[in-house]
Structure formats: structure tokens, C-alpha cells
Amino acid sequence: MTAACRFLFICRQPPFGLGRFGSGLDLLLTAATFEQPVTLVFIGEGVMQLRKGLDGEPLEMKNPAKALAALNIYGVDSVYAEADSLEAQNLDTGDLALPVTAVSSEQISAWVQDADHVVVI
């Protein structure tokens, strides 16, 4: 049996930027399907992906909340946001579209050291 690979996904991009967020989440869900340990962290402007009430319709783009809703379905519940980034964006965990735990940047650094594979999305 092959060893599990501990994945850490770090989202730094704001919503509607047409970056790697969508394909990154696809990879995250694939890893979860393969029963690999997965952690997802939002930092910097990436925390804006989590905001409630985002509306991509005027831009003819998908809402992040729709993709993020799949996390629960796939049993991914290790979702975090950097506390300083939330504060910088004037967000509280209560303003977010899904349950997220605020963590320090030191904790995130520790996870980066500990992970087997880090993916920036």
C-alpha cells in the first residue's frame, strides 16, 4: 500500500480572477476522493473567496461558494483562514460562506513545513 500524502492547499487569490482556484479545488477534491489528508488555508486576498453573498452573475462567472460547497460533500472540513488576513479584509468568521477556523501565520508556516505537498491555488 502506498503511503498517504498530506496535502496543504493555500489560496491567495481573490475571487473572479480566473486563476488556479477552480482547478486547484478540483485537485483538492481529487485528493480527498483518494482519501489523502487535505488542509485548505486562505491567506491574503484569498480570504475574500470565502465572503458570503458574492455574486458572479454580472461578470458571467461562477460563484466561489458553489465550488466551496463541495468541500462538505467530500468530507473536507479542515478549512482555515489567516486571522490577520481576515482582519485586513474587515471580515469576521461569521461573514463567511462556510465554517472556517481563523489561525495565525505561525500556524500556517508550521503546516507548510509539515505537509508532504503544498499547492498554491
* Secondary structure in 3-state letters for 22-71: HHHHHHHHHHHHCCCCEEEEECHHHHHHHECCCCCHHHCCCCHHHHHHHH
**Applying CB under 8 A, does 26 fall inside the site for another protein?**
yes
**Applying CB under 8 A, does 7 fall inside the site for another protein?**
yes
Among 27, 67, 70, 83, binds another protein (CB under 8 A): 27
**Applying CB under 8 A, does 67 fall inside the site for another protein?**
no
Spatial contact of 10 and 109, defined as CB atoms under 8 Å apart:
no
The residue ranges that bind another protein (CB under 8 A) are 2-5, 7, 20, 23, 26-27, 30-31, 33-34, 36, 116-117, 119-120
